[in-house]
Amino acid sequence: MISLNVAAEMAVWGKWLGDGLSKTATGASAGNAVFGIFLTLVVFLIGQWLFKISNGFFIFQPLFVGMVLGIFILFLLAKAFGTDTATFYKSAYLPGGNIIFWFLNPATIAFAIPLYRRNDIVKRFWLEIVLSLVVGLVISLFIIYEAGKLFGLSKGTLASLLPTGATTAIAMPIAAAIGGNPAITAMVCILNAVIIYALGDWLVKVFRINNDPIGAGLGLGTAGKTVGSAKALQLGSIQGSMASIAVVVISIVVDLVVPQFASLVGLR
């Protein structure tokens, strides 16, 4: 039923958008930021609804559905208006998308709050946490880099993959700085979370990861970001708090390590 409403909405909006688009082409319109904001809300809410009625089936993660559905709608609309998807995205979606995107800045800063709430654990284990994340990340980077080369990924794509240990908002500017494509980085960060959601329990069992609760937390937090933190919390409260610490600390570690690694292997 929701999708029907959306179809009707889109028809009306599409007509309006046609005018907006021709105005954008002449640089006269500033009003169509509304379309980007509206589309983002609609696809995300559809994602949440699907996630709810499917009892949390992993492929229906709201963010993942929102991304795929959003691109698909832009692709269809671009066809309808006779332009290519990239041009249509830039002129119609980007003004609104950028407004929502901007709020990632204060949202990233806000992660200092959960970090501070676990300050007792951070204070006691800071050396182990930092050492483990630095050493673990360097080893992981070498393996990921070699695996990427083995599959013949281009330099730009490799550079987009390396910073994905960090949370998306931090990984994207680092990817741009080392010659990667931030859009690919964002997709990979989303995929990381989807993979951990789908395979997390199985991987924890097969690799006996829960033998060390602190390690399980840091590993899940790094590999799966906030989704990994939720998985870790299911294993126990130590794992959960370690995972949320890892999400923040690994982002800072990535920022320190990845640009140096990229120069070392000659990516830039």
Partner 1 sequence: MAANKKVSSAEAPEKEQASPILIQMGIFAAILFVSSLISPLFPASFPVPTPVVGLILLYVLLATHIVKLRNVEKFGDFLISLIAFLFVPSGIQLAASLKVLQAEGVKIIIVVIIATIVMLVVIAYTTAGFIWIRKHVFHGNTDIDQ
Does 164 help bind partner 1 (rule: CB under 8 A)?
yes
Q: Which one among 133, 235, 245, 267 touches partner 1, defined by CB under 8 A?
A: 133
Report in angstroms how near the CB of residue 266 gets to partner 1 at its nearest. 14
Does 184 help bind partner 1 (rule: CB under 8 A)?
yes
Does 161 help bind partner 1 (rule: CB under 8 A)?
yes
**Other Cβ atoms closer than 10 A to 37:** 17
| Stretch near partner 1 under the rule CB under 8 A, chosen from 3-11, 15-23, 26-34, 140-148 | 140-148
Report in angstroms how near the CB of residue 36 gets to partner 1 at its nearest. 7
Does 26 help bind partner 1 (rule: CB under 8 A)?
no
CA distances 12 to 7, 35, 185, 193, Å, are 9, 12, 34, 35
| Stretch near partner 1 under the rule CB under 8 A, chosen from 2-10, 17-25, 52-60, 150-158 | 150-158
Asked if residue 166 lies in contact with residue 174, where contact means CB atoms within 8 angstroms, the answer is yes
**Tokens read off for 61:** 């993660």
- Provide the b/e sequence for 144-165 (b: ≥16 CB within 10 Å): bbeebeeeeeebebbbbbbbbb
Asked if residue 20 lies in contact with residue 31, where contact means CB atoms within 8 angstroms, the answer is yes
Question: Footprint of partner 1 on residues 41-100 (CB under 8 A)?
Answer: 41, 43-44, 61-64, 66-67, 70-71, 74-75, 85-86, 88-90, 93, 97-98, 100
The CB-based long-range contact list for 232-237 (8 Å cut-off, 24+ gap) reads 235/204, 235/210
Q: Which one among 21, 174, 245, 267 touches partner 1, defined by CB under 8 A?
A: 174
Does 33 help bind partner 1 (rule: CB under 8 A)?
no
Q: What SS3 class is residue 118?
A: coil
CA distances 174 to 158, 182, 253, Å, are 13, 8, 12
Does 105 help bind partner 1 (rule: CB under 8 A)?
yes
Does 170 help bind partner 1 (rule: CB under 8 A)?
yes
| Cα separation, 179 vs 242, whole angstroms | 32
Question: Footprint of partner 1 on residues 112-131 (CB under 8 A)?
Answer: 112-117, 119, 121, 124, 128-129, 131
Q: What angle, rounded to 10 degrees, do the helices at 33-53 and 94-102 form?
A: 70
Does 183 help bind partner 1 (rule: CB under 8 A)?
yes
Closest CA to 231 of 19, 239, 11: 239
Residue span 204-243 as binding mask against partner 1, x where in contact by CB under 8 A, dash where not? ---x-x-xxxxxx-xxx-xxx-x-x-------xxx-----
Report in angstroms how near the CB of residue 32 gets to partner 1 at its nearest. 15
The C-alpha angle 183, 168, 48, rounded to 5 degrees, equals 90
Does 10 help bind partner 1 (rule: CB under 8 A)?
no
- Binding residues for partner 1, rule CB under 8 A, total 115
